[in-house]
Amino acid sequence: MAKRSVSILTRLLTNPSSPFTAPTRSITYMPRPGDGAPRTVTLIPGDGIGPLVTGAVEQVFEAMHAPVHFERYEVRGHMRKVPEEVMESVKRNKVCLKGGLATPVGGGVSSLNMQLRKELDIFASLVNCINVPGLVTRHENVDIVVIRENTEGEYAGLEHEVVPGVVESLKVITKYCSERIARYAFEHAYLNNRKKVTAVHKANIMKLADGLFLESCREVAKAYPGITYNEIIVDNCCMQLVAKPEQFDVMVTPNLYGNLIANTAAGIAGGTGVMPGGNVGAEHAIFEQGASAGNVGNDKIVEQKKANPMALLLSSAMMLKHLQFPTFADRLEIAVKQVIQEGKWRTKDLGGDCTTQEVVDAVIKALD
Amino acid sequence: MSRRSLTLLKNLARNSNASSSCIQTRSVTYMPRPGDGSPRAVTLIPGDGIGPLVTNAVEQVMEAMHAPIYFEKYNVHGEMSRVPGEVMESIRKNKVCLKGGLKTPVGGGVSSLNVQLRKELDLFASLVNCFNLPGLPTRHENVDIVVIRENTEGEYAGLEHEVVPGVVESLKVVLSLKISFVIESFDFDVTRSLENSTRFVPGVVESVEVITKFCSERIAKYAFEYAYLNNRKKVTAVHKANIMKLADGLFLESCREVAKKYPGITYNEIIVDNCCMQLVAKPEQFDVMVTPNLYGNLVANTAAGIAGGTGVMPGGNVGADHAVFEQGASAGNVGKDKIVRENKANPVALLLSSAMMLRHLQFPSFADRLETAVKRVISEGNCRTKDLGGQSTTQQVVDAVIANLE
């Protein structure tokens, strides 16, 4: 009898109930006739690790037989502007997947990432910073969505030299843009069953600019009585993020703070190599690695081909949902999360030593 | 001591199995478009019998979830001669409809309003997903079948006429035309010629079953597309082509042609009588089934029955432009007077169908919450209506679902 109990004990201990025992049947979905027709997506590999990770996405989509085909365009960060044909393609396809574009420091060349967002009026940037099961971090219970205004604020690119040796940089905040980003944030919270929206600001110092932002947020909050709204000053916010991140849910921010908060939140939840994200406007959407730090990578990673493709794979799962192929999106997400959880195939930023290709092969094998 | 440890370990093992089969919530990173949250109008037809009871259940749950949907309610009853014009207008405007069952009188020449709706809106595909629900014990395990049934022609074309007293023939008219506009006009010709037929004699009734290449092809295309989009591995065509060689033969031909375009999906065919037997013997062999109208009705209800009953299976009808959601399989969707009086109708099927509707309207998060809550209530097992072996009323089940919404 004791012998039997030993075997039961062994069985129990060797089969931990994992939260990702892949659900064999997840959703009942009735597509419309014609929903399976393939969609075209503009693909911009970009600079640095860009081609490596977008290549990863292409391989996985091929393996899944996803109804997506890519129109590839070479764009480099040092070009003066995004080529016309690329803009045409994005406007036509409405959806784009891109790697990072390296923006040279100083020198007056404006960022092509910014240019894309402004021309297509992609006003909201969304990053979902969430603890991935199996990936050990110093912070637990992190599940923050940072929604950042993408077109104005400090990144308006309006700078001029007043007098030799004195430069002014203009930060523009408009009611129109603040209102629409607030509306998008609350709508996102409503549609995704989120309970709280936090506005991040520095209105104690920039009373008029950030004050206008806050006013717009407060007005929109009144239309959503079911969602808690609060405000936090950005310096306190950074400290709270690293001390008690579980208090944050959805955060809505202007451009600069959003950039910093998104990267901090991504960092505490596991690193910018795994957080999915995207940029959306009324008509177009661009998907890329969630938080911007490290999306081009350094030469060493490019040489050794050890870039982390997870972030872009999860972003492309978001893209599949956006294109209304929910089953493919689910399969991809489950496969990626399984690979992360198993822990054997991890790139350097997650503590392992694999190459990008090894991770891609593991994901393809984990697809069901 | 080892006796105690054995019992303790068995308990542990059971609990760990139970917790691993407990309903997992899906966490979805989803980037909506701006404006995706604006409310959508949906036509609501409560219907007859238990219809008003179960559609009201859906209304309550949608209210509790604050779903971005509002219903335009219209009263339609099965004994009306046709669906009122304003209801059709409403559905055409909203493109989506949720309905309870409409009772079709037996005999008497009143055509079914359910069929009329489907024909006018050209909802050519009916989909029922029959699957085992965790926590609901049935005699059959591992059932996960999607029955895709052609909705607009076949035996339900409604073309009947009396030829000779006491003799009823079932004619099969086979149209093998490749050009769709010719088929459209030919359908009308068939109807007219039969009505004005000089062969009309009292006492003999013919029922004409029409199978066209156009409709067979599009239902086959829909079935394979469904399998592709939902990662299904096999499509089975159900037929009786050994007897009705031309009619069902045409159906099979269309399925085979479409199958060639989907090399990754296994295709096979099964005769309908064997199919019914296999369904109750080894249901795990079936995945997606594509059928003409009549067989689809029977196969869907059989599959629903083995998987837990028509009270829990979700389903809908879809066409190129519109979609109507209702209880999946048609048996019992109007219910008996006793159930209506005691208010013990099972709202689960319509709740799961409305979750499909939420997905159709692109509110995946609400759909997931609803499905999770419903499945949790079923798996907990203390709030079940009579058809699932319990004693609860509809309202009790609704309250349990609302309590389980997160």
- pLDDT interval class at A285 (50, 70, 90): very high
Beta-sheet pairing, B314-318 with B323-327: antiparallel
Q: Suggest the residue from B31, B229, B258, B379 to mutate for an interface test with chain A (most A CBs closer than 10 A).
A: B31
Name residue, tokens 């020198």: A107
Q: Which residue of B has its CA nearest to A227?
A: B66
Report d(CA A283, CA A366) in Å as an integer. 34
* Position with higher pLDDT, B100 vs B169: B100
* Position with higher pLDDT, B307 vs B176: B307
| A228: enclosing H helix or E strand | strand A228-233
Q: Does the pLDDT value for residue A161 go beyond 50?
A: yes
One-character DSSP codes across B30-80: --PPTTTTS-EEEEEE--STTHHHHHHHHHHHHHHHT-SEEEEE----TTS
- pLDDT interval class at A199 (50, 70, 90): very high
**A195-226: string of b/e by CB count within 10 Å (b at 16+)?**
eebbbbbbbeeeeebbebbbebbeebbeebee
CA distances from B241 to B74, B251, B370 (A): 42, 9, 42
Beta-sheet pairing, A39-44 with A68-72: parallel
The pLDDT of B25-34, averaged and rounded, is 72
Task: Write out residues 219-248 of B within 8 Å (CB-CB) of A.
Answer: 221-222, 225-226, 228-231
B31–A278 CB contact, under 8 Å: yes
- Taking only the tens place, the pLDDT of each residue in A206-256 is 888 899 999 999 999 999 999 999 999 999 999 999 999 999 999 999 988
B31–A21 CB contact, under 8 Å: no
Report d(CA A12, CA A341) in Å as an integer. 19
Tell me, what's the pLDDT at B11?
53
CA distance A238 to chain B (A): 24
Q: Which residue of B has its CA nearest to A11?
A: B13
Strand partners, A253: A148
- Taking only the tens place, the pLDDT of each residue in B285-310 is 999 999 998 888 889 999 998 998 88
| B238: enclosing H helix or E strand | strand B234-239
B5–A2 CB contact, under 8 Å: yes
Report d(CA B289, CA B232) in Å as an integer. 11
Closest partner residue to B352 among A28, A317, A326, by Cβ?
A28
Task: Write out residues 81-100 of A within 8 Å (CB-CB) of B.
Answer: none
Closest partner residue to B3 among A1, A183, A280, by Cβ?
A1
Q: Name, in order, each residue with C-beta under 8 angstroms of B68's C-beta and a sequence gap of 6 or more.
A: A190, A191, B37, B38, B39, B40, B363, B366
Percentages of chain B per state (helix, strand, coil), in multiples of 5: 45, 20, 35
Report d(CA B128, CA A196) in Å as an integer. 38
Q: Which residue of B has its CA nearest to A129?
A: B29
CA distances from B275 to A286, B144, B282, B303 (A): 48, 15, 10, 11
* Position with higher pLDDT, B153 vs B223: B223
Q: Which residue of A has its CA nearest to B133?
A: A25
Per CB-CB distance under 8 Å, the chain A contacts of B3 are 1
Alpha helix (H) ranges present in B68-212?
Answer: 85-94, 113-120, 180-195
- Taking only the tens place, the pLDDT of each residue in A310-346 is 999 999 999 999 998 988 999 999 999 999 999 889 8
B9–A325 CB contact, under 8 Å: no
- pLDDT interval class at A349 (50, 70, 90): confident
Report d(CA A170, CA B67) in Å as an integer. 42
Asked if A225 reaches chain B (Cβ–Cβ under 8 Å), the answer is no
Beta-sheet pairing, A166-172 with A153-163: antiparallel
Q: Does the pLDDT value for residue A18 go beyond 50?
A: no
Contact A148, A287 (CB under 8 A): no
Per CB-CB distance under 8 Å, the chain A contacts of B18 are none
A192–B264 CB contact, under 8 Å: no
Report d(CA A55, CA A302) in Å as an integer. 13
Q: Which residue of B has its CA nearest to A226?
A: B66
Q: In the predicted model, what is the mean pLDDT of chain A? A: 86
- pLDDT interval class at B1 (50, 70, 90): low
- pLDDT interval class at B24 (50, 70, 90): low
Tell me, what's the pLDDT at B21?
39
B34–A1 CB contact, under 8 Å: no
Per CB-CB distance under 8 Å, the chain A contacts of B226 are 31
Q: Does the pLDDT value for residue B125 go beyond 80?
A: yes
CA distance A189 to chain B (A): 10
- pLDDT interval class at A22 (50, 70, 90): very low
Task: Write out residues 273-332 of A within 8 Å (CB-CB) of B.
Answer: 276, 278, 280-282, 285, 314, 317-318, 321-322, 324-328, 330-331
Tell me, what's the pLDDT at A102?
83
Tell me, what's the pLDDT at A41?
96
Report d(CA B150, CA B299) in Å as an integer. 12
Tell me, what's the pLDDT at B329?
79
Q: Suggest the residue from B29, B130, B146, B262 to mutate for an interface test with chain A (most A CBs closer than 10 A).
A: B29
How much of chain A exceeds pLDDT 90, in percent? 52
Report d(CA A287, CA A149) in Å as an integer. 16
Q: Does the pLDDT value for residue B211 go beyond 70?
A: yes
Pick the range with the lowest mean pLDDT from A2-11, A178-187, B311-320.
Answer: A2-11
Q: Enter the tokens of residue B191.
A: 């109807």
Asked if A30 reaches chain B (Cβ–Cβ under 8 Å), the answer is yes
- pLDDT interval class at A5 (50, 70, 90): low
Pick the range with the lowest mean pLDDT from A158-172, A342-356, B69-83, B126-140.
Answer: A158-172
Strand ranges across the sheet with B323-327: B69-73, B40-45, B96-99, B323-327, B314-318, B125-131, B144-150, B288-291, B234-239, B266-271
Tell me phi and psi for residue A349, to 5 degrees: -70, -15
Tell me, what's the pLDDT at B156?
65
The pLDDT of A29-49, averaged and rounded, is 90
Q: Name, in order, each residue with C-beta under 8 angstroms of A12's C-beta and a sequence gap of 6 or more.
A: B9, B12, B13, B16
Per CB-CB distance under 8 Å, the chain B contacts of A183 are 34
**B215-254: string of b/e by CB count within 10 Å (b at 16+)?**
bbbbbbbbbbbbbbbbebeebbbbbbbeebeebbbbbbbb
Report d(CA A74, CA A70) in Å as an integer. 13
Contact A127, A269 (CB under 8 A): no
Helix (H, G, I), strand (E, B) or coil at B265: coil
Per CB-CB distance under 8 Å, the chain A contacts of B370 are none
Q: Suggest the residue from A11, A25, A30 to mutate for an interface test with chain B (most B CBs closer than 10 A).
A: A30
- Taking only the tens place, the pLDDT of each residue in B269-287 is 999 999 999 999 999 999 9
Contact B172, B246 (CB under 8 A): yes
- Taking only the tens place, the pLDDT of each residue in B187-201 is 334 443 444 443 445
Report d(CA A345, CA A356) in Å as an integer. 9
Q: Enter the tokens of residue B251.
A: 């159906």
**Per-residue DSSP letter, B284:** G
Tell me, what's the pLDDT at B192?
39
Helix (H, G, I), strand (E, B) or coil at A252: strand
- pLDDT interval class at A297 (50, 70, 90): confident
Q: In the predicted model, what is the mean pLDDT of chain B? A: 82
- pLDDT interval class at B10 (50, 70, 90): low
* Position with higher pLDDT, B289 vs B151: B289
Q: Which residue of B has its CA nearest to A329?
A: B28
Task: Write out residues 127-186 of B within 8 Å (CB-CB) of A.
Answer: 127, 129, 131, 144
Q: Enter the tokens of residue B54.
A: 């179960």
Tell me, what's the pLDDT at B331?
76
- Taking only the tens place, the pLDDT of each residue in B35-53 is 888 999 999 999 989 999 9
The pLDDT of B253-278, averaged and rounded, is 93
The CA-to-CA distance between both ends of chain A, in Å, stands at 40
- The complex scores an ipTM of 0.78
Beta-sheet pairing, B288-291 with A143-149: unpaired
Report d(CA A196, CA A193) in Å as an integer. 9
Tell me, what's the pLDDT at A8?
53
CA distance A204 to chain B (A): 30
